[in-house]
Structure 1
Amino acid sequence: MLVVPNHGPNAEAYEKTDNKLYVVVLVAVTACAFLGSLVAVILMYLWFGSPDCKLNQFFISLGWILCVLATPLSVAPAVQDALPKSGLGQAAMVTVYSTYLVASTLISVPTPPDDYTCNFTNKPGTSTATITALGVAFTFTALAYSASGAAIRGTMGAAEETALIPENEDENGDMYPADDEENGVQYSYSYFHIVFAMAAMYLAMLLTNWNTFEFLPDDNATIGKSMGAVWVKIVSSWVVLLLYAWSLIAPLVLDREFK
């Protein structure tokens, strides 16, 4: 969802090193992404990380530490030798998304309605609609791109690709293009539907805020704020970073080519 869409532009820049304007834009976007993530971390410490909120502090600190560890890994000499097109651009996008997931996690922490210590969104007049809308927009775009791309790239049941499609000759001796999917389609039906089904289910859970609610001591129910939603989101942020790190390390430890 993050590395593949960002990898394409980086690949083009790698092949067109004379395009200085593109390099400037890429550096600026990457720097803004890292700077924005740092500002977000500072704000999370101010709004959610008071001395009494140890769990919130742990979430913020661990998320930032993982980002700091994954970023230099993307430009390590060994990684660059195996994956020349990897770089800080992908690391910046992963950092931004992971930081967003941590912020969404902290907003989901259940607290009493009049307790603003560990969750400032409980203050009257405070709305989380903006961060929810951003999350939905980003996730919808990424899911649409990645689900369709993954389905097309799926190899289960796909026909073998060939460099040239031979032409066939009819009874009159006229040549016509051959059907390159005569023995099998160039994509996998099952993989296509599995990926889209999982994408649809994930988006539904995101829109319903994981369909969770928790009853507080005063018998009030808080929708979308429960420890279930908290752990789903925070674990997702860790998995994102670990998968990204593995995508960089895998070509070094496995005897195969990654595309």
Structure 2
Amino acid sequence: MFLSTVKTRKLFEGQNSWHSGWWELKSVLLVVSMALPFFFPSQIIQIYGEIARIGAGIFLLLQLVSVVHFITWWNKYWIPNEERKQRCFLGLFMSTLFYVASICGVVYMYTTYASRSSCSLNIFFITWTAILLAVMLVVSLHSKVNRGLLSSGIMASYIVFLCWCAIRSEPATLRCETKDQEKRNGGWITILGFLIAIFAIVMAAFSTGIDSKCFQFSKDKVKDEDSIPYNYGFFHIVFSLGAMYFAMLFISWDLNNSARKWSIDVGWASTWVKIINEWFAATIYIWMLISPVVRQNKVMDSDGTMQQTPDSSMA
């Protein structure tokens, strides 16, 4: 689909109807593409697995950029002014809700997965997540940044969710759950987490694939009325990367993994991928907050240098 639609620019082109229709033929191609891999040699599947690791990592990066872009848009939407006092109240309510949920999530993880001093790795994960929450809160409320609480609250909830997913991906024997939690938690939490992952991947693929503007270096292009609404090629390549990420969930990012019951997305490789993803997400967001201040300081420094140069030459 990527190769057949990447050059599409106008709605009247044949590739547009292929992208938006021909569902009967696409259904046949889908069934064929699902059946063919069973006849491939294992070496080809192994090569695809190595490629899928890279593609899944790229999908995570694209998803982070899309999430940050969405948070920025939502924060601007709730910016208070005289004409939108109701929005201001709702924005404040949503900010409080997200931060309360984040704090409750941290407390829940401490009591469930770090109740013993021997759970040092989980204590480190959760404590570092709490530190990231505090840093994002302080930076967003700093007088030079002044970005409000809503965007940082949404990102706080997101990284707490990533931390919980990472801990849930640890091998069950080393997860440091409380005894009561171990008895209650059967396969239903794994199934629920997996369903949430499916929903998140599909939504991320749709939103990232359609919102290709936030990945463009140049945004000055003017679209005609007959131009396609979004980049079809980018849309399909994002879905292919999402499929690679989905494949990694099934094998826990380990190509030699032997799947067991209730072991979807369980393993140390999966745990560290999610933890690094969490840290990277927080880093991108904090940089997004401080980058305007850094650029402004650089501009002011350069202007000051330019003013000093002619003065010194006259002296």
Distance 1:78 1:229, change over 3 A: same
Asked if the contact 2:78/2:87 (under 8 Å) is kept, the reply is yes
Q: Which has the higher contact order (CA 8 A, sep 6+)?
A: 2
- Equivalent residues in 2 for 1:68-217 (5 A)? 68-80=134-146, 86-112=147-173, 117-118=176-177, 122-123=182-183, 126=186, 127-128=188-189, 129-149=191-211, 151-155=212-216, 160-162=220-222, 193-206=236-249, 208=250, 210-212=252-254
Q: Are positions 1:65 and 2:131 aligned together? A: yes
Give the partner amino acid of 2:244: M
Aligned to 2:271: 230
Give the partner amino acid of 2:290: I
Quick one: which of 243, 246, 253 aligns to 2:294? 253
Q: CA deviation at 1:239?
A: 0.7
Distance 1:116 1:251, change over 3 A: closer
Distance 1:16 1:201, change over 3 A: farther
Aligned to 2:118: 52
Distance 1:15 1:223, change over 3 A: closer
C-alpha distance in 1 between matches for 2:95 and 2:219: 39
C-alpha distance in 1 between matches for 2:194 and 2:75: 29
Q: CA deviation at 1:203?
A: 4.3
Asked if the contact 1:154/1:188 (under 8 Å) is kept, the reply is no
SS at match of 2:170: coil
Q: Note the aligned Cα RMSD (angstroms).
A: 3.6
For structure 1, the residue ranges without an aligned partner over 5 or more in a row are: 81-85, 166-177
- Equivalent residues in 2 for 1:14-25 (5 A)? 14=79, 16-25=81-90
Distance 1:242 1:209, change over 3 A: farther
SS at match of 2:144: helix
Give the partner amino acid of 1:132: F
C-alpha distance in 2 between matches for 1:21 and 1:221: 46
Distance 1:154 1:41, change over 3 A: closer
Number of positions where the alignment pairs a residue of Structure 1 with one of Structure 2:
227
Distance 1:9 1:243, change over 3 A: closer
C-alpha distance in 1 between matches for 2:77 and 2:281: 24
Distance 1:72 1:209, change over 3 A: farther
Q: CA deviation at 1:179?
A: 7.8
Asked if the contact 1:34/1:92 (under 8 Å) is kept, the reply is yes
Name the structure where strand makes up a greater proportion of residues.
1
Q: CA deviation at 1:161?
A: 2.8
SS at match of 2:252: helix
C-alpha distance in 2 between matches for 1:11 and 1:220: 45
Distance 1:118 1:52, change over 3 A: farther
Name the structure where helix makes up a greater proportion of residues.
2
TM-score normalised according to structure 1 size: 0.71
Q: CA deviation at 1:6?
A: 2.9
What percent identity do the matched residue pairs reach?
22
